[in-house]
């Protein structure tokens, strides 16, 4: 029997999620420097950035079957190394084609880290504590996502972004040694890849319902991160840096909320928390629609992030509870569908912006939130059974 220390393993999951936060945000943080360094136009910058979500999508699809077959130690170490190589490449290489490969590696490693850390936290938790542990994991994402822009902002006056990225890579390398040193849960499937089980999961109505919810959840989060600055530029007379700073309140709201949720998910039915979160996010988006200065915009973004925080931890908790025997593959499928939603809804927002103007952005967000509420309401009985298992077991 593989005896592992649950706390040490959970720390490993938290470290991996911090790195995913860094991977997901790092391109936006260093893109202005890369654009200036290589004299890129808007098309060139866009082509660089677009490789990150492609990598994340690929990593999210691949990690599940690898985890269920080979376990977490290998995947956490490899995915961190992919992210490490990509980040180090941004600081060392000058060739644009090599930089494109590096950006894809950051996304690929980040996608694997996101999925594997969620699956790992789910697997080592009992049904009662699963949602709580996943919420704390979400806090770790916030630490990474907020930390790298903060570091670059504070240290950029004294150091080039290359120096900061190189030191971040050193921290990742030390973490790989930690992953190698500790014991992890055994793989669930001892022989062969679980392709047959994965195909069967595609036919699972409950998993598809939860994945469809995450399709909109990921889309809303991505839209808020990607389009808020454009929306506010036309309404608030402040500089780009100040608007970008206001956007950090969205991540801050999610981080604070997940700290609170780590307690509330132990005592309140999960479907109530999800519905309350949706209504809170709707409120924040309505305030954003009427925000005409940066302070109100920051408050609205904090409220919106606060409301959206429950989506991923609760739904991943449901999936981990319902599909314990093949949790990696199930969560991987859900993550793939979720990130597909991020991509497609961002394309849809581009079309809506061209056709109806950027002022339609808050309305689009509210429509998507209401669709999530309808999904919850029409499938409440199915989700309630999973929720009751999470609350009552143990």
If asked whether residues 213 and 346 sit together in one domain, one would say yes
How much is the pLDDT for 393? 44
Same domain, 7 and 155: yes
User: pLDDT by residue (tens digit) across 22-60?
Assistant: 888 777 667 666 777 777 665 666 666 678 888 888 888
SS3 50: coil
Where is the domain boundary, 151, 183, 215? Answer: 183
Instruction: State whether 13 and 135 are in the same domain.
Output: yes
Spatial separation of the C-alpha atoms in residues 346 and 376, rounded to whole Å: 23
Residues 296, 175 share a domain: no
* 190 belongs to a structural domain: no
The answer on 127 and 201 residing in a single domain is no
Q: Rounded to whole angstroms, how far apart are CA atoms 315 and 81? A: 28
Whether residue 189 is contained in a domain is answered as: no
How many domains is the chain built from? 2
Q: Confidence band (pLDDT; 50, 70, 90) for 162?
A: confident
For the stretch 361-373, pLDDT in tens is 899 999 999 999 9
The whole domain housing 216 covers 195-394
Q: Are the C-beta atoms of residues 286 and 366 closer than 8 Å to each other?
A: yes
Domain boundary among 157, 183, 209: 183
At residue 161 the predicted structure's pLDDT band, cuts being 50, 70 and 90, is confident
Whether residues 154 and 213 share a domain: the answer is: no
Q: Which of 158, 183, 208 is the last residue of a domain?
A: 183
The total of other beta-carbon atoms located within 10 Å of residue 189's CB is: 18
389 and 278 in a common domain: yes
Percent of the chain with pLDDT over 70: 88
Distance, CA of 145 to chain centre: 10
Same domain, 167 and 213: no
Angle formed at CA 306 by CA 118 and CA 61, multiple of 5 degrees = 25
* 206 in any annotated domain: yes
Is 262's pLDDT higher than 70? yes
Could you count the other beta carbons within 10 Å of the beta carbon of residue 340?
Answer: 18
- The C-alpha atoms of residue 291 and residue 250 are separated, in whole angstroms, by 15
- Would you say residue 115 lies in a domain? yes
Model confidence at 305: pLDDT above 90: yes
Phi, psi of 290 (to 5 degrees): -110, 10
Q: Considering the domain boundaries, does residue 123 fall inside one?
A: yes
Q: Are 25 and 143 in contact (CB under 8 A)?
A: no
192: left (phi over 0), alpha (psi -120 to 50) or beta: left
Q: What CATH number is attached to the domain comprising 230?
A: 1.20.1250.20
- C-alpha closest to that of 243 among 294, 168, 170: 294
Domain identity same for 166 and 298 = no
Residue % of the chain over a pLDDT of 90 = 29
Q: Binning pLDDT at 50, 70 and 90, where does residue 78 land?
A: very high
Q: Tens digits of per-residue pLDDT, 79-112?
A: 999 999 988 888 777 777 888 888 899 989 999 9
Query: Is residue 121 situated within a structural domain?
Result: yes
Tokens representing 261 are 């949720």
Dig out the tokens for 205 from the structure: 């109505």
pLDDT higher than threshold 60 for residue 307: yes
108 shares its domain with 168: yes
Give me the chain's average pLDDT, please.
83
Q: Are 278 and 312 found together in one domain?
A: yes
Q: Do 202 and 300 reside in the same domain of the chain?
A: yes
């Amino acid at each position: 029997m593989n005896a592992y220390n649950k706390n040490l393993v959970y720390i490993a999951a938290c470290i991996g999620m911090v790195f995913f936060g860094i991977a997901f945000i790092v391109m936006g943080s260093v893109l202005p420097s890369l654009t200036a360094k290589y004299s890129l136009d808007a098309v060139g910058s866009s082509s660089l950035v677009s490789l990150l979500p492609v990598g994340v999508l690929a990593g999210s699809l691949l990690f599940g079957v690898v985890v269920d077959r080979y376990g977490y130690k290998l995947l956490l170490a490899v995915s961190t190394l992919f992210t490490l190589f990509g980040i180090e490449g941004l600081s060392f290489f000058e060739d644009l084609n090599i930089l494109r490969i590096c950006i894809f590696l950051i996304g690929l490693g980040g996608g694997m880290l996101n999925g594997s850390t969620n699956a790992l936290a789910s697997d080592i938790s009992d049904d009662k504590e699963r949602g709580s542990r996943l919420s704390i994991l979400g806090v770790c994402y916030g630490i990474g996502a907020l930390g790298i822009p903060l570091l670059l902002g504070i240290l950029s006056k004294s150091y080039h972004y290359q120096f900061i990225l190189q030191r971040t890579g050193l921290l990742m390398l030390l973490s790989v040694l930690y992953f190698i040193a500790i014991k992890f849960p055994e793989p669930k499937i001892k022989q062969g890849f679980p392709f047959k089980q994965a195909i069967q999961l595609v036919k699972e109505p409950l998993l598809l319902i939860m994945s469809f919810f995450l399709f909109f959840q990921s889309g809303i989060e991505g839209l808020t991160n990607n389009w808020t600055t454009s929306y506010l530029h036309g309404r608030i007379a402040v500089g780009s840096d100040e608007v970008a700073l206001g956007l950090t309140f969205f991540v801050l709201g999610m981080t604070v909320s997940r700290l609170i949720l780590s307690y509330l998910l132990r005592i309140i039915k999960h479907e109530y928390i999800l519905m309350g979160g949706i209504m809170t996010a709707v409120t924040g988006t309505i305030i954003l629609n009427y925000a005409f200065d940066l302070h109100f915009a920051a408050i609205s973004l904090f409220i919106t992030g606060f409301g959206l925080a429950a989506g991923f931890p609760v739904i991943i908790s449901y999936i981990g509870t319902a599909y314990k025997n093949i949790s990696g593959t199930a969560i991987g499928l859900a993550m793939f569908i979720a990130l597909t939603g991020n991509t497609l809804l961002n394309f849809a927002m581009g079309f809506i912006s061209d056709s109806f103007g950027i002022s339609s952005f808050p309305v689009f967000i509210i429509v998507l939130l209401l669709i999530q509420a309808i999904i919850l309401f029409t499938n409440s009985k199915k989700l309630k059974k999973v929720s009751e298992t999470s609350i009552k077991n143990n």
